[in-house]
Chains A and B, each alone.
Chain A
Amino acid sequence: MAHFDTTTNAGQLLAAASGGRRRRGDRVFSNIAVVAAVTILALLVGVAAFLVAEGFPAFTSSTAELPNQESFISYVAPLAFGTVLAGVLAMVIAVPLAVAVALFITHIAPARLALLLGFFVDLLAAIPSIIYGLWGIFVLGPAAVPAMRWLEEKLGFIPIFEGPASITGRTMLVVGLVLAVMILPIISAVAREVFSQTPRKLQEGAQALGSTRWEMIRTTVLPFGRSSVISGAMLGLGRALGETMAVAIILSVSGGVTFNLIGQANPSTIAANIALNFPESSGLAINVLIATGLVLFAITLATNFLARIIIDRAEIK
């Protein structure tokens, strides 16, 4: 903004001309702004530094000293597996539905209804996760028990539905569904925003060529919104990976690694494991939990960077 700088200079000249009194105000204010900016960088450095400092003993202690007498890697690996499994499951369920919801609101529902629905979905995005957890354990879990038994009977030949089906409903599948319900409003808010910004010219052009509504959506709306939908999906994945309470409440955990989504024994997730064990832990156990928190942070960071790379590539095309 070149013209902007010239006006700034003019302002500074004027300020200088009037004896520097105004300049002091400027200096103080801009210094406050810089301090705020630096504070935020310091905060982030602080987060990383304190977590590394507190987590460090977990990396350096010998296996015998650690709780459960197992090495840190073999402790965190199943948790990381569970985290990624739950997150990916949620994303696979949520993304198609969220895109459908966004398309319904922007292109199918009548305008007045669409406005109302948009507002409703935004409200849902703000519901605290603890409430999704309570709903999952009291409502969805019990309701899913017969469905999971059915899956075991009819589709048991697929490894993920191997069973034996849980009788409590506290399974990875239910966690995936609850996380999907949780991130759906977030993804669909992003998708809705970009779908509604598809240039009208493109849409009308497609229709003028005789496209049906679906052909119009497929050739204009979806390509236009693709990179934003991907970034929305990654945002949702980040939320699902870091989600703590819903998982801690619902999942019946036993450690270990399994792809069986409907069984009694499920791998826990990093975040849920911290929430479940932190209040009763002390000493080195706390350091180990903080170190797993670092691993979780690394996983979400990697997800964000992956998202950025995908988006950049999509935008170049």
Chain B
Amino acid sequence: MTPPPADAAVLSTRSLFSGEGSRGGSLPSWAPWGAFVGAVVFCGLVEAVLGWFTIALMLVFGCLVAIVAIYAWSRPVEGARRAKDRAVTMAIVAAFGVAMAPLISLLYEVIVRGAAGISWEFFTSDSRGVVAGGGAAHAIVGTLVITACAVVISVPIGLMAAIYMNEYGRGPLRRALTFFVDVMTGIPSIVAGLFAYALFELFFGPGIRMGIMGSIALTVLMIPIVIRSAEEVLKIVPDHLREASYALGTPKWKTITKVVLPTAFAGLVTGVMLATARIIGETAPLLVTTGVVDSMNADPFQGRMQNLAVYAYNEYRSPGVMKQASFDRAWAAALTLILIVMILNVIARLVYRRYKTEIR
């Protein structure tokens, strides 16, 4: 009797790991890439022959063909289960690529087209009576003023409400608050704008437009975000810190202001900054409340006030005589806005990383 070949044991373990029905073999490590590139090239050729070649269609069909190809290739070598695993992995990676493509395209277009419109003049002058050139200084100032007012109103209210929910609240008021904050999160931004308009119209008459109206609209959108994030970080402040403070005879309000809030500080600041980044680019509520204007106005209680998002929309919607100059300004405003949002996001994360309290 001849002994079995030495690598039989290896083979059988491998077939054990790769599941039943496996033939024990495996594809080369470049197989997924090979299948993908092959499939895309194949689809490109077929489309060229049929005469409707486009890059988008080539990639979409290429992905589909690649999924089928890798399955067909793997199945006789590795068995049905590994083949399915490979096909699904291919599908997920392809879907990831499909999902990322537009987002990368968006960033690329904003940067390239926005850079064309960015100039010193863009940041320093308003666009009163301009044909070409002109800037968005009034819109930048407006964005900052409107957002700052919204932050000044929302943060104290939101923060105190979160403190109420986490430190004091019990019974029906707390339950109602949890529920209605949920409801508030779902308010569409344009509805918040309509609310601010309806509120001010009642006092000042129809057609009223003011910067502060925009801030009120943004407040409606910002408060639930602030409460949610603040509640989240207050919740993870451990009870033993509070108890230690009480044991020293510290009253509750001092415990909250001197122990709980400092512990949660990094999280609170991060939450507020992310909430600010969310509302700073809002367009719809400001379109119906702050109006459109070409010249500088830094007084939120007096007259129409421009802001970056509405400025970008307006440059697109009603371009001047020189269309391209208007579109350039719209993209430049979009780029400025995206930069502000990105900077806020990055700073928020840095603050969190730098100042977060280690809670054990």
Which residues does A use to contact B, with CB under 8 Å? 1, 3-4, 7-8, 10-11, 14-15, 18, 22-23, 25-26, 28-30, 32-41, 43-44, 46-47, 50-51, 53-54, 96-98, 100-101, 103-104, 108, 119, 122-124, 126-135, 137-140, 143, 146-147, 150, 177, 181, 184-185, 188, 210, 212-215, 217, 238, 241-245, 249, 271, 274-275, 278-279, 282-283, 286, 289-290, 293-294, 296-297, 300-301, 303-304
CA distance A81 to B3 in the complex (A): 75
Interface stretch (choices B36-44, B131-139, B239-247): B239-247
Verify B334–A104 contact, CB threshold 8 A: no
What residues of A have a CB within 8 angstroms of the CB of B313 in the complex?
A: 130, 133, 245, 249
Do residues A131 and B106 form an inter-chain contact, with CB atoms below 8 A? yes
In the complex, are the beta carbons of B93 and A97 less than 8 A apart?
no
Indicate if the CB atoms of B288 and A274 lie closer than 8 Å.
yes
The smallest beta-carbon distance between A188 and chain B, in angstroms, is 8
Tell me if B5 counts as interface (CB < 8 A to partner A). Answer: no
| Chain B binding surface SS class | helix
Given A44-B183, A126-B345, answer yes or no on A30-B250 (Cβ-Cβ < 8 Å): no
| CB of B14, distance to nearest CB on chain A (Å) | 12
Q: B223: CB under 8 A from chain A?
A: yes
Residues of A within 8 A of B338 (CB): 127-128, 131
Task: Say whether A304 contacts B194, CB under 8 Å.
Answer: no
Residues of A within 8 A of B254 (CB): 22, 25
**A-B contact sample (6 more), CB < 8 A, given A23-B251, A135-B109:** A36-B160, A44-B184, A97-B95, A104-B92, A130-B309, A274-B190
* Whole-angstrom CA separation of A210 from B345 in the bound complex: 42
> Are A130 and B283 within 8 A (Cβ)?
yes
B106 touches A132 (CB 8 A): yes
Give Cα A100–Cα B92 distance, bound, in whole angstroms: 5
Question: Is there contact, CB below 8 Å, between B281 and A37?
Answer: no
Residues of B237-285 whose CB lies within 8 A of A: 239, 242-243, 246-247, 249-257, 274, 277-278, 280-284
Check B8 for interface membership: any CB of A closer than 8 A: no
| Max count, chain B CB within 10 A of own CB: residue among A128, A137, A283 | A128
Chain A hits for B242, CB < 8 A: 4, 7
Across the interface, do B283 and A245 meet the contact criterion of CB distance under 8 Å? yes
Pair B199/A134 contact, Cβ less than 8 Å: no
B342 / chain A contacts, CB cutoff of 8 Å:
123, 126
CA distance A26 to B250 in the complex (A): 10
State which of B105, B183, B246, B291 has its C-beta within 8 Å of the C-beta of A301. Answer: B183
- The 8 Å CB contact of B187, one of A41, A47, A108, is A47
Q: Which residues on the A side are within 8 Å of B292 (C-beta)? A: 279
Docked-complex contact B191 and A297, CB < 8 angstroms: yes
- Whether the pair B195, A126 counts as a contact (CB closer than 8 A) is no
Question: How many angstroms between the C-alpha atoms of A243 and B199 in the bound complex?
Answer: 22
A98–B184 alpha-carbon span in the complex (Å)? 25
B355 within 8 A of A: no
B288–A10 CB distance below 8 A: no
Give chain A residues whose Cβ lies under 8 Å from the Cβ of B256. Answer: 29
Contact in complex: A147, B56 (CB < 8 Å): yes
- Checking B190, B201, B277 against A271 with a beta-carbon cut-off of 8 angstroms, the contacting residue is B190
CB < 8 Å neighbour of A293 from B103, B159, B194: B194
Q: Complex: how many Å from CA A241 to CA B189?
A: 11
Scan B161-200; emit 1 where CB is below 8 A from any A CB, else 0: 1011101110001101100111110111111101101110
B64 sits at the interface (CB 8 A): no
Are B57 and A150 interface neighbours, CB within 8 A? yes
Question: Is the beta-carbon distance between B189 and A244 smaller than 8 angstroms?
Answer: yes
CA distance A80 to B181 in the complex (A): 25
A307, closest chain B residue (CB): B186
Could you tell me if B220 and A43 are in contact, using CB atoms closer than 8 angstroms? yes
Q: Report if B23 contacts A (CB, 8 A).
A: no
Inter-chain contact B99/A131, CB cutoff 8 Å? no
User: Are A47 and B220 in touch, CB under 8 angstroms?
Assistant: yes
Is there a chain A Cβ closer than 8 Å to B141's Cβ? no
Binds A, one of B80-88, B120-128, B295-303: B80-88
Could you tell me the distance between the alpha carbons of A304 and B256 in the complex, rounded to whole angstroms? 33
B12 within 8 Å of A (CB atoms): no
Q: Which of B160, B184, B254 gathers most chain A CB within 10 Å?
A: B160
Q: How far is it, in angstroms, between the C-alpha of A133 and the C-alpha of B173 when the chains are bound? A: 40
B173 touches A137 (CB 8 A): no
